[in-house]
Structure 1
């Protein structure tokens, strides 16, 4: 019996050592610790359980939303994982309006000329309109580097387009590797429509995500998902070019951020406090082992879909309120929140609908 026990123990140890050796040899990441916020999240109110589900079953992972005009009619727009730019008519029906293609369509915003600016994680910054689809930027002119993970976009009144490149090392389908590595590979980019050039405004961002302009367009906000904060980049005045922290220690990883009519901002927060994830992020070897076994990551990712949260933040960076679904059964993994005409509209990479919630 002792011999059998010893043989089994020896086999398990051999297998464990083999897994460690495999992880060290083949892991694509060079991880560092991820520091989680120390403050307690706001008390749950489950207000997001009251959302109306628009287009349920018709929309595949609608990550972002926009409100745009076509003639005299207003439409709700979104892009989906099956490559469509879709829009909802006033009677609640959805139209597959423009086929863009691919599975990496993320941020969307209405352009001043009536078309749409769309971030395709694989192709870069796109312009979509009646004339079709045009790639505006697939690389950065400053250094010739490829845009690997175009994520969120906003256009200023002067025509300048600001957009995020979430990671220069890992692409859309490898986002979990960027999360495990927890190093600052992201950047904030600017596309100049007059010269058709793209330049780097900020680099060394920890998963650069949502972007938004202030009401007066004197500053630009960019979210750092893996640092649980949003940064403020001044565009005008005496502080032009200066970088400040707009809000930090958020109770989730900030995804998209949108300007509200009153000048405040709505920030969608994704649940990065996975079960055991705090512990995992303390150990580089464990993260390396996970990086070579994506199936294990899939198991852990399930915890990301157990809650939804969005926060409203004043223009000075003060938290006003938080809305959530603590169960994730109605709304989960909110990636964008847009206020329009007294309602919030929610996008989500995990859901098959757009959420709609009355604010008053």
Structure 2
């Protein structure tokens, strides 16, 4: 019996070793450990009071923006850019044969600038439709363009979330936790695109300060935002704008008063944080995609924060159990309301800011 036990134990060990080798060999990631302890998020449920704009008419609207005429737009994951009419109805404004539209921003001379993760950066106007601004960088196809903003001088800044993984594998980038992101600048006059910042930890939202003296870019993996100075004595330098956020920052938008609204997502389900502390577990999750749904916590709740120009949180709203809205990816303030995009909804959320509790 003892010999049989030893044989059985040896067989179990051999099988485990074989499985481990197989997982490591076929794993799509080369991970490093990630020990991020985000600040506590809010139990506030004010986002449960949102008005649902166009419920059932939009498919996972990642981002929203308002053009210079004051019209609201949303990019929908079915390839449509939706336009909110004055009568409250949504119009199918422009269509691109793509399921990978992400960030959108108003263009200074009219129209919109849109990020398509598989095709590049587009300009969209009423008369001309879609025109390509950037499709390649340094001879390589532009991939995973995430968010964009145009400065008053015409330069366009946009983020590349990952130079290794595509949109459908975005969570693999989170598991790998290596800095594959970039911040780029496109000069329409010279038609040149340059890398402003490299080695970013999943570069996401991009926003300019009110005076356009600095630019903020979100690093989702590190629960922080960086500030890159465009003017003044610090021009060309980069520092931390805010860190230890109560969630991973997604898109960021300038508010009328010079502060910023940042949408935060929960990268890891509660109780699953240990996954990021062990490489073998990361390999295991990455090798069996069905496990990602158990680890990924983005659909569990919603949180948005208002951060003043000095990098301090002054307001925080949430839906602590994702009852009404979750996976909020953008928050835009316009005419005393907050408009919310989400990758797990069929509407755009609208929250009145007047009278909300700070």
TM range (shorter): over 0.9
Is it true that 1:351 corresponds to 2:306 in the alignment? no
8 Å contact 2:61–2:343 — kept in the other structure?
yes
- Aligned-residue Cα RMSD (Å) equals 2.0
CA shift at 1:80, angstroms?
A: 1.0
| SS in structure 2 of the partner of residue 167 of structure 1 | coil
Residues matched between the structures, number: 353
Tell me by how many angstroms 1:146 deviates. 3.3
Instruction: Check conservation: 1:153, 1:211, Cα contact below 8 A.
Output: yes
Q: TM-score, normalised by structure 1?
A: 0.93
Q: Tell me how far 1:103 sits from its aligned partner.
A: 1.1
Q: Which residue of 2 aligns with 1:20?
A: 20
Residues 266-320 of structure 1, C-alpha deviation per residue, up to 9 Å, x if partnerless?
000001232343211111111112111111112323x321110000000010110
Instruction: Find the aligned partners of 2:43 and 2:304 in 1 and give their Cα distance.
Output: 11
Measured in 1, the distance between the counterparts of 2:8 and 2:46 equals 52
In the other structure, the counterpart of 2:84 is 88
CA distance in 2, matches of 1:9, 1:330: 50
How far apart, CA to CA, are the structure 2 residues paired with 1:91 and 1:159?
33
Candidates 135, 139, 142, aligned match of 2:136: 139
Shift of residue 13, structure 1, vs aligned partner? 5.2
Partner of 1:221, secondary structure, is: strand
- Note closer, same or farther for the CA distance 1:190–1:15 as it changes in structure 2 (3 Å cut): same
Mapped partners of 1:59, 1:311: distance in 2: 24
Structure 1 residues 62-84: Cα deviation after superposition (integer angstroms, max 9, x where no partner) = 000011256xxx42101111111
Which of 117, 123, 137 in structure 1 is aligned with 2:119? 123
Secondary structure of the equivalent of 2:298? Answer: helix
Matches within 5 A, 1:105-254: 105-129=101-125, 130-141=127-138, 144-254=139-249
* Structure 1 residue matching 2:273: 3-state secondary structure: helix
Q: Does 1:255 align with 2:250?
A: yes
Runs ≥4 residues deviating over 3 A: 1-18
* Mapping 1:298-309, distance limit 5 Å: 298-301=293-296, 303-309=297-303
Structure 1 residue 6 displacement after superposition: 8.6
Residue 17 of structure 1 deviates from its aligned partner by: 3.4
Secondary structure of the 1:226 match is coil
Structure 2 residue aligned with 1:49: 48
Is 1:76 the equivalent of 2:72? Answer: yes
CA distance 1:25–1:94, change in 2 (3 Å): same
Aligned partners of 1:36 and 1:278 also within 8 Å: no
1:63 aligns with 2:57: no
C-alpha spacing 1:9/1:308, structure 2 compared with 1 (3 Å)? farther
Structure 1 residue aligned with 2:305: 311
Unaligned runs of 5+ in 1: none
Deviates more, 1:14-23 or 1:310-319: 14-23
User: C-alpha deviations, 1:101-160, integer Å up to 9, x for none?
Assistant: 21110000010121110000111111111212122112224xx34322100000000000
Change (3 A) 1:251 1:181: same
Q: Distance in 2 between matches of 1:3 and 1:295?
A: 39
- Give the Cα–Cα distance (whole angstroms) in 1 for the partners of residues 8 and 293 of structure 2: 29
